[in-house]
Every structure is written in C-alpha cells, then in structure tokens.
Amino acid sequence: MFVSDCLDINNDGHLTIGGIDTTEIAKEYGTPVIVYDENSIRNNCRAFVGSIDKYYNGNGRVLYANKAFSCLEMCRICNDEKMGLDVVSGGEIYTALKAGFPAEKLYFHGNNKSYTELEYALRNGVGRIVVDNPEELGNISEIAKKLGVTANIYMRIKPGIDAHTHDFIKTGQIDCKFGFALETGEAMENVKLAISTENVNLKGLHCHIGSQIFDVDPFVLAAEVMMNFIIDIKNETGVVISELDLGGGFGIMYTENDKPVAFEKYMKPVSEKVKEIATQNGIPVPFILIEPGRSIAGAEAVTLYTVGNVKKIPDIRTYVAIDGGMTDNPRYILYQAEYTALCANKADKPRDLEVTIAGKCCESGDLIQENTMIQAVEKGDILAVLTTGAYNYSMASNYNRVPRPEVLMVKDGKVRTVIRRETYEDIVKNDV
Ligand SMILES: *Cc1c(COP(=O)(O)O)cnc(C)c1O
C-alpha cells in the first residue's frame, strides 16, 4: 500500500519513516513537520549516478534539480554523492555556495535571470549558464568581458515534445516560456549567434520536456531530436557540441494510480539512441547530464499534521482540518496534485472514511486533497501526507503569516533538524 520503501507500520499500528515512529516525531518536534529519510535520498542519488556509469561509462553527470527541495543539507548530500546541482536563482546559488558546493558543478537555469544574478554567478565561477534568450546571451557576454572571463554556456532548446503530462508542468513545446524553439529556426539562429558572441563558449545544449512523466518514449524522442540538432549544428557551422543535458522529469508515486518506471528503463533506451546517432554521424558521444529533482527527494518525505476539527456536512462531505495547508503544500491549490494521506496513529486500520483535507488558511481552495479515503480520524490524531519531499517546502509561503514548518531528516535510527521551524520573530524580521 505504500508509495515509498522508507515507510512502514510498526507493532503499535503507527506509521514509521526510516524505522522511526512518526507519532513520536510529532510529539517531540510538534506539527506540522516534514520528515525525510536520508538513506532513501542517497539511494536515489546512487541509482542515477550508477546509471551514468553503466550506460555512458561515467562520461556524464547527475544534477539534482535543487528547486525540488533546496537547503544546505541537501546541497551537502548531493556533493557527497558526487553530483552537480541545477540552480535557478541567485538564492539557490547562494545556498549551494554556502554549503561549500563546488561552483564549477553548478548549472544555472531560468527564463529571466537578472543582470545581478548573472554577474553573481560569473563572479563566483558557476560552471555552466543555460541561456534562455538572446538578451541574456548579450548580458552574459558583457559581464564576462567586464570580468575578463569566458562564460561556459548551454542553450535551452524546446524540442517540441508533448510528454503527456499536466499542462502546467509541460515545458517542451513551442508555447512555453522557456528557451528557443527548434521548429521555427529560432534555435539554430541563436546557436549561430552564441558561436559568434565574444566571451562565451557554447559547450552544450539543454532540454527539459516536463515533469512527472511515466512514459519512456518522450525521453528517447527528446534525445533523438537533440542529437539530430547537434548533427545539424555540426553540418551548418562545423562546431561539434560536446555536452548534452537531457533534463529531469522522471515520475514518482503519489498514489496507487501512479506507476513509476525504474530509472534503468529510461536510461538504457535513451543511451542507446544517443550512441546510435553519434556513431552513425561520426561524432563523439557527448558528455550526458540528467537533472532529476522530484525523483530524488519527492517520495522520501512525509508531512505530519495534527487534526483539528472534523466538520461533517451531511450528504455533502466531511472536512478534516489540519494545522498546515497551502502554506507548506501549495500543490493541490496550484494544480490539483494527488496525494495519499493516512492517519499516522491508526495506520493499521482500514481507510474507510471519505474526507476532504482542509488547511487553516483563509482561502476556500486551501485543501490538501478532496474526497480521499483515510482512517476514521478525530481531533488530536496525526495525519500524514505522503510524498511531500519535492515542491512542497520549496514552494512554501507565509500566507496568513503562518510560520514555515520544521524539516527533519532521519538516518540510521536518529532524527535531526535540517531546517528550523520559523518563529513569529522570523515572520516580522524584514518588516520596517
Ligand atoms: C524542474 C526542472 C527539473 C527537475 O524536474 P523533476 O520533474 O523534478 O525531475 C530539471 N531540469 C529543469 C531545467 C527543470 O526546470
């Protein structure tokens, strides 16, 4: 029944994560609280790194898409696991540098990087900047010249692939705010511009076709489209692109309806396609990068809440109110994301009550899940929402001046804080 291997039920009938009773965690640390299992995160990192070793002879790199869940400890773990980081803002770069992450293994993405952010990245020796538009290319060139450096860049390409996912998280097609379109000739035009631009070195190409994708085919197709573009670039300009970043988007399990595919199942056919096109055209297999975010951290955390009032509206629905909501998990209000929820202290009981889980904010849409089955809960019970490791804390807000929750990691039977709970003082710290 579980969406993740790190979860189980103990002899008391309580939900455990990494072998630790979640109700004990709730008692000691308070709620809401987000709890990660560190060993599971590391296992995911190793599976991806191992697949680069296996399918590309180690000629590649795994970048953790830091936006999924960014904090000092995640940066340290990824560094420890010999990965790079995909960063999308000055703040994420700052976090990585503060954690002692090597700047040359940072890859700076984003569709509207400010001049200040670009300058900050180049001054600090960020490894690659993934260029989104011609103005940005001009800014990078200008800043690099001023600093007396050459910026290593990638170009973000829209390969025009429909990855059969939710509209809001589909990013490979023409009507998309990210990158250069292939079909219109925009991509080739800007590649040529980049080649002739001073103080930049066009190292590679990047694409990212979407998120929460369960099909293998779109990934293979994206690799094919990108490799063919590399061949076109070679034919038109003589330049052989040596690095190819194929993005992230590997699907994970939120509910029993999700059927994730093992990493190997993507990596193998994608690598075969890349090698096939390289060999046919007599170019070296590029250095391959992949950028898993959700699939590193998503299924490896649960959020624990305390149940407040339970409101039964006869013949309509039952609202179960919790002490958090859209402030720590805005994914339902944003795009009706599905989740599995259960009562942590009644985890062994049947889930026979249909409820709508409501947050505490002054917003009717502040829900975590509608019409979902959980155990018969009462005030004071601990409600666990599973698979909250990605795009939850990183999207958290202080709406209604609700402090952000504490974030914990468990490892080998021990619990530790990785992000402290915000205090009311934190809430007013920037107020003048
Ligand atoms: C968000 C993002 C990722 C990670 O996506 P997941 O679905 O979390 O794996 C990777 N690369 C880029 C450029 C992204 O924007």
Q: Which atom of ligand 1 is nearest to the CA of 206?
A: 13
* pLDDT on residue 85: 98
Measured in Å, residue 353 CA sits from the centre of ligand 1 at 35
291 lines ligand 1 (CB under 6 A): yes
Q: Which atom of ligand 1 is nearest to the CA of 67?
A: 1
84 lines ligand 1 (CB under 6 A): no
pLDDT tops 90 at residue 304 = yes
Ligand 1 pocket test: which of 45, 291, 388 has the largest number of ligand atoms within 8 Å of its C-beta?
Answer: 291
Tell me the pLDDT tens digit for each residue of 184-214: 999 999 999 999 999 999 999 999 998 999 9
Q: For the ranges 157-171, 207-221, 415-429, which has the lowest average pLDDT? A: 157-171
Q: Which of 176, 343, 361, 362 is the catalytic position?
A: 362
Mean pLDDT score across all residues of the chain: 95
Measured in Å, residue 275 CA sits from the centre of ligand 1 at 24
* pLDDT on residue 167: 57
Atom 10 (ligand 1): residue with closest C-alpha? 248
* pLDDT on residue 305: 98
* pLDDT on residue 237: 98
Query: What's the rounded mean pLDDT across residues 296-301?
Result: 97
Query: What's the rounded mean pLDDT across residues 372-383?
Result: 98
Helix ranges restricted to H, 108-216: 115-123, 134-147, 186-195
Tell me the pLDDT tens digit for each residue of 312-340: 999 999 999 999 999 999 999 999 999 99
Measured in Å, residue 344 CA sits from the centre of ligand 1 at 31
7-37+298-428 adopts what CATH topology?
Lyase, Ornithine Decarboxylase; Chain A, domain 1 (2.40.37)
68 lines ligand 1 (CB under 6 A): yes
pLDDT tops 80 at residue 3 = no
Tell me the pLDDT tens digit for each residue of 125-151: 999 999 999 999 999 999 999 999 999
4 or 17, which is more confident: 17
Measured in Å, residue 65 CA sits from the centre of ligand 1 at 6
Beta carbons within 10 angstroms of residue 313's beta carbon: 9
Atom 15 (ligand 1): residue with closest C-alpha? 208
294 lines ligand 1 (CB under 6 A): yes
* pLDDT on residue 148: 98
Sign of the four-CA dihedral 280, 281, 287, 291? negative
Measured in Å, residue 234 CA sits from the centre of ligand 1 at 28
Query: What's the rounded mean pLDDT across residues 157-169?
Result: 73
Tell me the pLDDT tens digit for each residue of 110-126: 999 999 999 999 999 99
Q: Which atom of ligand 1 is nearest to the CA of 293?
A: 8
Q: Specify the amino acid at residue 130.
A: V
Best CA proximity match to 93, nearest among 77, 73, 117, 76:
117
45 is catalytic: no
> Do β-strands 128-131 and 106-108 pair in parallel, antiparallel, or remain unpaired?
parallel
109-292 adopts what CATH topology?
TIM Barrel (3.20.20)
Tell me the pLDDT tens digit for each residue of 82-102: 999 999 999 999 999 999 999
Measured in Å, residue 246 CA sits from the centre of ligand 1 at 10
Q: Confidence class of residue 169 from pLDDT cuts 50, 70 and 90? A: low
Task: Please state, for a pLDDT cut of 90, what percent of the chain lies above it.
Answer: 91
Ligand 1 pocket test: which of 78, 206, 208, 300 has the largest number of ligand atoms within 8 Å of its C-beta?
Answer: 208
Distance CA 428, CA 201 (A): 44
Query: What's the rounded mean pLDDT across residues 250-264?
Result: 90
* pLDDT on residue 170: 58
- Is the pTM above the cut of 0.85? yes
* pLDDT on residue 175: 77
* pLDDT on residue 161: 84
Tell me the pLDDT tens digit for each residue of 352-372: 999 999 999 999 999 999 999
Query: What's the rounded mean pLDDT across residues 151-174?
Result: 78
Q: Confidence class of residue 343 from pLDDT cuts 50, 70 and 90? A: very high
Q: Where are the domains of the chain?
A: 7-37+298-428, 109-292
Tell me the pLDDT tens digit for each residue of 217-226: 999 999 999 9
* pLDDT on residue 165: 60
* pLDDT on residue 177: 85
Q: What residues contact 355, with CB distance under 8 A and at least 6 apart? A: 310, 317, 318, 319, 320, 371, 372, 373, 374, 377
